[in-house]
């Protein structure tokens, strides 16, 4: 987003949320929409953008208002702020694209109970100024969108042989139907996590090996 003119500190906050603490792959938050709406890449992107919008707006509001909100009722106030923005997204999407709205169904309204948003409001926005909160919100929103896209594209390609509705293979392609059904969501997410864990383990082993050779000399 507007990360360019920021000081390095906020750029760090952006990248940290986007990659090092990716809400889906690292902290495993907000799993319900991740699995439920990623049967196609288009749905995944739409869901990601809606969530990002709610994240940025609610983060901005929470950080602007956190001095006014009494500590005892903060969670309830945050939920009301989030619910307001979700209602907005719900109506906007209904007006902009009825097809996507129908495909996502109740999951747009269920953004309210996405743990990522409340988690960011409580852990970051309520302790920081407005601009860093917006940047951090954008970071985790985009991280969430990327993760949804990774899942959605794999499931769509394997399950239907298409990407964004465009056919990739010839007519003889036999779709792997289970991938767009519920079990496919669990399997694909599990495989991605497996891939990341393997990659991390390999990086750690290489670092250890390098250190060993340096020490041996």
Partner 1 sequence: MQGESLTFIFLNAAVINNFVLAMFLGICPFLGVSGKLKTAASMGAATTFVIVMSSACAYALNYLLVSFQLEFLRLISYIVVIASAVQLVEMAMKKFSPALFHALGIYLPLITTNCAVLGVALFQTSRSYDLTQSLAFSSGAGAGFTLALVLMAGLREKMELSDVPAVASGTVMTLMLAGVLSLAFMGFAGLGGH
* Residues near partner 1, by CB under 8 A: 28-29, 31-33, 35-36, 75-76, 79-80, 83-84, 86-87, 90-91, 106, 109-110, 112-115, 118, 178, 181-187, 189-190, 193-194, 197-198, 201
Q: Which is nearer to partner 1, 28 or 207 (CB)?
A: 28
Query: Could you tell me if 60 and 141 are in contact, meaning their C-beta atoms sit under 8 angstroms apart?
Result: no
If DSSP states are collapsed to H, E and C, what string results for the chain? CCCCCCCHHHHHHHHHHHHHCCCCCCCCCCHHHHHHCCCCHHHHHHHHHHHHHHHHHHHHHHHHHCCCCCHHHHHHHHHHHHHHHHHHHHHHHHHHCHHHHHHHHHHCHHHHHCHHHHHHHHHHHCCCCHHHHHHHHHHHHHHHHHHHHHHHHHHHHHHHCEECCEECCCCCCCCCHHHCCHHHHHHHHHHHHHHHHHHHHHHHHHHHHHHHHHHHC
CB of 136 to partner 1, least distance (A): 20
Q: Least CB distance from residue 8 to partner 1, whole Å?
A: 32
Residue 171 CB, nearest distance to partner 1 (Å)? 27
Are 186 and 192 a contacting pair, CB within 8 Å?
no
CB of 158 to partner 1, least distance (A): 14
Q: Which is nearer to partner 1, 114 or 133 (CB)?
A: 114
Minimum distance from residue 185 beta carbon to partner 1 (Å): 7
Closer residue to partner 1 in complex, CB, 168/207: 207
Nearer Cβ to partner 1 (36/130): 36
CB of 170 to partner 1, least distance (A): 29
118 or 146, CB closer to partner 1?
A: 118
Q: Closer to partner 1 by CB, 132 or 184: give it.
A: 184
């Amino acid at each position: 987003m507007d990360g360019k003119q920021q000081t390095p500190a906020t750029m760090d906050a952006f990248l940290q949320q986007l990659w090092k603490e990716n809400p889906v792959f690292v902290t495993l938050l907000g799993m319900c929409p991740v699995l439920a709406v990623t049967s196609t890449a288009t749905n995944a992107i739409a869901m990601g953008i809606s969530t990002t919008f709610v994240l940025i707006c609610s983060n901005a509001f929470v950080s602007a208002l956190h001095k006014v909100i009494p500590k005892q009722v903060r969670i309830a106030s945050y939920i009301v702020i989030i619910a307001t923005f979700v209602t907005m997204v719900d109506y906007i999407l209904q007006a902009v694209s009825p097809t996507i709205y129908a495909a996502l169904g109740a999951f747009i309204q269920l953004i309210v109970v996405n743990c990522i948003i409340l988690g960011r409001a409580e852990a970051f926005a309520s302790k920081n100024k407005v601009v860093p909160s917006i940047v951090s919100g954008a970071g985790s929103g985009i991280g969430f969108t990327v993760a949804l896209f990774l899942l959605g594209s794999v499931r769509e390609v394997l399950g239907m042989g298409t990407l964004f509705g465009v056919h990739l293979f010839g007519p003889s392609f036999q779709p792997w139907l289970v991938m767009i059904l519920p079990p496919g969501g669990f399997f694909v997410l599990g495989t991605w996590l497996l891939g990341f864990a393997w990659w991390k383990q390999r990086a750690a082993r290489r670092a250890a090996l390098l250190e060993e050779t340096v020490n041996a000399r």
